[in-house]
Amino acid sequence: MGKQLVFGFVAAAILGTAVACVTSPETGRSQLNLVSDSQMNSMGEQAYQEMLAKSKISKNPALNAAVADIGRRIAQASGVDYEWEFTVIDDPKTINAFCLPGGKVAVYTGIIPVAKNNAALAAVIGHEVAHATLRHSAERVSQQMVMQMGMTMASLTFSDSKYKNTIAGLLGIGAQFGVALPFSRYHESEADRVGLEYMAKAGFDPREAIGLWERMGSQSGSRPPEILSTHPDPIRRAKALNQHMPEALQIYQNSPLRSATKSF
């Protein structure tokens, strides 16, 4: 394949990604989006049902009610009209929660002792809800599509070089550590900040988010260097949230939904 044709593909790809950039109403940040909401939501629903089919769903009525109530309030605070679902998965060894496109949220029971109270759990759910409203999944899928396209084009461009395998490998490493992992960490930090606003608007004390991440830091054990991780260091997350605390506390003080922090 001629290099002129390859460069034509590159130009078309650059033009296509520029056209596919949208502005997030939550943050004002420009985002790459090559897939529709309906596509992502359909994928999220399918993945959610598959995940639940393989998991043990909690039968604890009090915990289910608490997660459903916190989730409902956070979802309302987000102002995004998804078909929200909140499920508790009975897995005490997993300290985690997740949200799939379209508002499908699951909380593992392993995170409950770390959260300790409803406000800290609201920080967890607020973070996951923010991933959905900020359309991070669509952005990551789009990013992977562009990275894959770029590496394919580079492989074609250097197809006559005896170093083509080395070049392709270096491009893959560069994309992973130079783009994918830092961008993933950025998504986590962005969801932390927006989730903090959601929990405050929903009437949960945002200061509990600091203690949550400090406790998460003590639970994380031996972590890889942050440059090799998809998530920021928990202690750094707590410090970063402290910087946004004045604004979050103002939102909390003005919320008509303010409620007492209750321990589990």
How many residues are recorded in the chain?
A: 264
Considering the candidates 128, 188, 190, 197, report the single residue annotated as catalytic: 128
For the residues 69-85, what does the mean pLDDT come to? 96
pLDDT above 80 (res 230): no
Residue type at 138 in one-letter notation: A
Distance of CA 188 to the CA centre of its chain: 5
Q: Could you tell me the pTM of the whole model? A: 0.75
Cβ–Cβ under 8 Å, residues 109 and 56: no
d(CA 16, CA 50) in angstroms, rounded, equals: 33
For residue 118, pLDDT beyond 80: yes
**Residue 128 a catalytic site member:** yes
How far, rounded to the nearest angstrom, does the alpha carbon of residue 65 sit from its chain's CA centroid?
A: 24
151-169 pLDDT per residue, tens: 555 555 545 555 445 444 4
Per-residue model confidence (pLDDT) at position 26: 67
Per residue in 64-75, pLDDT (tens digit) is 999 999 999 999
pLDDT given at position 24: 63
87 pLDDT exceeds 70? yes
Q: Choose the weakest-confidence range: 121-125, 129-133, 253-257.
A: 129-133
Residue 65's SS3 state is helix
